[in-house]
A = this chain, B = another copy of it.
Amino acid sequence: MEVGFVGAGRMGLAMIRNLVAAGHGVRVFDVSEAAVARAVAAGATAAATAADAVRGDAVLSMLPNDRAMRAVFLESDVLARAPWSLVHVNMATASVACARELASAHAARGVAYVSAPVFGRPEMAARRELNVMAAGPPEAIDRVQPLFDAIGRRTWRLGEEPTSANVTKIAGNLIVACMIESLGEAAALARAHAIPPADLLGVVVGSLFDVPIVRTYADLVASETFEPAGFDLRLGLKDTQLALAAGEAVHLPLPFASVLRDNYLDALAHGAETKDWSAITQVATRRAALDAT
């Protein structure tokens, strides 16, 4: 297929490589020329403008935040100029509010819109191990399914309402964030009772939670290795805020998310800006003054 790609950051680049490897033609736009150059080196062609990428069979976008998505797709004329047959596949983690605006703007312009955020980090994207959550018109998803097959290990269909995929992504991230905090509280309890956290977490992961995501974070927490960041703590805070906002919109208290928010702030106040989001687990350690011993 001939596809455009808007937003060639770490995740985007890994996807582009897999799309090219699967034989698709990819025109890439990014505000960073260096990012475009890396994509071209991977076999893509450069688009001069966002609009230049929004043509062909489909355009995939992987922009970092609501603001960037709004700038490209809502506050410009790219949708107005998009070909009628185009499918836009938005793979970024958008807020529910932004996702809703995007869905309705595409509907107003008659452009097929698929919301398709993913679970997975850049190294998983590189290995085609992403899980894709796709929601939107079924026939549009059918058309872009070959693209999902090129970048992920599995596509989960979540119905026709695009925002369902965004809510699912946000809720899934909340579960992961809560898992990390709970590992941290448990590790602090162990440490305070003179038990190596690695012993505790080794048992718990080995017995009950032997999946890569838990094992990965248990290792980071036990070894207190929070740099370099795989997913940085400010993004953890951002994702928790997306969950809180999604809850607020439906009058749903999320007390675990409130605790997470407070703890991310505590971590940021103590220099965790460039650390992995699992550095939230230092908060429990510090509050019990275990860091000083």
Decide if B171 touches A186 in the complex (CB within 8 Å).
Answer: yes
- The answer to whether A261 has its CB under 8 Å from any CB of chain B is yes
| A182 and B174 form a contact (CB under 8 A) | yes
Given contacts A262-B258, A288-B269, contact A204 B186 (CB under 8 A): no
Known: A209-B214, A258-B258. A253 touches B288 (CB 8 A): yes
| A259 close to B269 (CB less than 8 A) | no
Asked whether A159 is an interface residue with its Cβ less than 8 Å from the other chain, the reply is: yes
Copies in the complex: 4
Q: Tell whether A107 is near chain B: CB-to-CB under 8 Å.
A: no
**B174, B204, B207, B284: the one within 8 Å of A254 (CB):** B284
Instruction: Bits for A193-220, please: 1 = Cβ < 8 Å to B, else 0.
Output: 1110001101110111111011000000
A255 closest partner in B (C-beta)? B259
> Which of under 10, 10 to 19, 20 to 34, or 35 or more describes the interface residues of A?
35 or more
For chain A, residues 178 to 194, give those with C-beta under 8 angstroms from any C-beta of chain B: 178-179, 181-183, 185-190, 192-194
Nearest CB on B from A290, distance (A):
8
Q: Cβ of A72 < 8 Å from any Cβ of B? A: no
Interfacial chain B residues near A171, Cβ < 8 Å: 185-187, 189-190, 200, 204
Task: Kindly list chain B residues whose C-beta atoms are within 8 Å of the C-beta of A270.
Answer: 289
User: Does A176 interact with chain B (Cβ within 8 Å)?
Assistant: yes
* Cα of A78 to Cα of B175 in the assembled complex, Å: 47
Answer whether A211 and B213 are a contact pair too, CB < 8 Å, given A167-B190, A192-B252, A268-B251. no
A82 contacts chain B at the CB level, 8 A cutoff? no
What is the minimal beta-carbon distance from A275 to any residue of chain B, in angstroms?
14
Quick check: which of A3-11, A34-42, A45-53, A240-248 contacts chain B, the rest being far away?
A240-248
Question: What 15 additional pairs, Cβ within 8 angstroms, besides A119-B204, A175-B209, A253-B284?
Answer: A131-B203, A158-B199, A164-B194, A174-B185, A174-B189, A175-B204, A178-B182, A185-B254, A185-B257, A247-B265, A248-B265, A255-B259, A255-B262, A258-B261, A269-B288
Q: Chain A: residues with CB nearer than 8 A to chain B?
A: 96, 119, 131, 133, 154, 156, 158-159, 161, 163-164, 167-168, 170-172, 174-176, 178-179, 181-183, 185-190, 192-195, 199-200, 202-204, 206-211, 213-214, 243, 246-248, 250-259, 261-263, 265-266, 268-270, 284, 287-290
